[in-house]
Amino acid sequence: MPWARRLALSLLILCASLPCLGGSDPLSKLRFSLPPLMGSLPTAFAARWGLFEAHGVSVELVALNDDTARQQAFVSREIDGMICDVTTAIRLSTTGTDVVITSTAYEPPQTGSLAILTTTCMAAAKGITSLDALLSSSPPFRPSPITFTTESDLEFHVDALLESLGYKVDPKTMYVHSNHMPNLAARLAIGGVEAAVLPDPYITYMSYVPPEVTFGCQLVHLWDFSGPLLPSVIVFRKEVLERNGTAIGAFYAALREAIDRLNVMGQEEMINEGVDVVLSLDFFPGVTRASIPPGVLEHIAVPQFTQPGPLDPGQYGAVLDWMNKKHYTWKRPEYASLTTSRYLQ
């Protein structure tokens, strides 16, 4: 009958434009990248425990060891969001990327989280037994002594330290850039660089690597940073927030639940499961549970993870002032234009 055919056609059109009754909506999808740092653990655990799916969002974690590769993936829209430092977020904004800081990701403990390190091999070969000895051991036309990720929050902290100690900072003679932290840690361990700036758990890991693996080189602390350190931040592209805001809300609901669970886990339980989480992300190619040196896992300090919060405007301003002073950017994006509190509780 004509009316029946018209009804059937209408139902087909309706089902093509709306979810049909009896079906299930596909989960919204996000691609999110993590750096090989302590602050990535809550997001990685949320994925391992299935919390993202439980809250209605599918999150594909993209582990990239290389900072430059991670930023390029963000700019080219290969990923929707990532954990990065404050300097990176500001630099992306000033170079034309519509990036939004949605929250802090991880606030490092004020002690034991960051250090300038060398090895006994360098101490014996070049007399590097102190920070002063390190900086005075680099005459013109010789490789610079401190290796780390420059144009970053690490450089912000190193600059502030050296200036407070009375040094005139000259990046051309004092710093060497490295954008791959696992490789830098490995090079430092075998005496491949004079000194490096590294966060924990790299510090703890390298402290227990057997001497036969590092050609007899052992870790030497030239300076342990203390006091407040800049947090890492979570960023998404603005278009993703506008198009898929509900998925971002689900992402944060899962992340908050993961942090609550992590903070009540015992150290042994967290470390034991955390090893599998980290290895599954392939942050350290070739490393297996069996190859981890004895003593490392027992000595890794498990922090209390704080819930995502707003980036402090004072910290934002300090980093922006420093970037202008270093000529990393002449622009001054407003705090309100680069941040949102929409997903904070």
Do 71 and 120 lie in one domain? The reply is: no
> Across-strand partners of 119?
219
Note whether 309 and 241 are same-domain residues. yes
Distance spanning both ends of the chain, measured CA to CA: 57
Among residues 118, 96, 126, 86, the alpha carbon closest in space to that of 234 is found at 86
259 and 218: one domain?
no
Determine the angle formed by the axes of helices 86-94 and 313-325, rounding to 10 degrees: 60
Give which of 238, 229, 259 is closest to 333, Cα–Cα: 238
237 vs 170, which has greater pLDDT?
237
Q: Quick check: 1 pLDDT over 90?
A: no
Residue predicted with more confidence, 225 or 282: 225
Band of residue 153 on the pLDDT scale cut at 50, 70, 90: very high
Specify whether 93 is located in the same domain as 131.
Answer: no
Summarize pLDDT for 120-147 with one digit per residue, the tens: 988 888 888 889 888 875 555 455 689 9
Please report how the helices 41-48 and 245-262 are oriented relative to each other, as an axis angle in degrees rounded to 10.
Answer: 100
Neighbours of 266 (CB within 10 A): 9
Among candidate residues 288, 343, 239, 283, the one with its CA nearest the CA of residue 39: 283
Write out the two tokens for 328. Answer: 């990393």
Neighbours of 114 (CB within 10 A): 26
Domain boundary residue among 226, 260, 292? Answer: 226
- pLDDT above 90: residue 296: no
Q: Note the Cα 179 to chain centre separation in Å.
A: 12
* Structural domain contains residue 289: yes
> How does pLDDT run across 82-115, given as a tens digit for each residue?
999 999 999 999 999 999 999 999 999 878 899 9
Interacting residues of 22 by C-beta distance below 8 A, sequence separation 6+ = none
Phi then psi for residue 187, to 5 deg, are: -65, -40
State whether 118 and 222 are in the same domain.
Answer: yes
Whether 219 and 237 map to the same domain: the answer is no
Boundaries of domain holding 319? 28-107+231-338
CATH number at residue 153: 3.40.190.10
Domain count across the chain: 2
Last residue of a domain, one of 172, 197, 226: 226
Distances (CA, A) of 306 to 109, 263, 327: 11, 9, 33
- Exposed, middle or buried by CB within 10 Å (0-12, 13-18, 19+), for 131? buried
Q: Do 195 and 295 fall into the same domain? A: no
* Strands of the sheet with 232-237, listed across from one edge: 57-63, 28-34, 81-84, 232-237, 99-106
- My answer on whether 173 and 146 are in the same domain is yes
Residue after which a domain boundary falls, among 192, 211, 226: 226
Residues 235 and 99 in one domain: yes
Contact 337/99 with Cβ under 8 angstroms? no
Residues 152, 235, single domain; the answer is no
In 3D space, the residue among 165, 170, 167, 199 whose CA is nearest the CA of residue 185 turns out to be 199
Q: What pLDDT is recorded for position 5? A: 43
Three-class SS of residue 206?
Answer: helix
Closest CA relative to residue 182, chosen from 165, 153, 205, 214: 205
- Cα distance between residue 165 and residue 132, in whole Å: 10
Is residue 343 included in any domain, yes or no? no
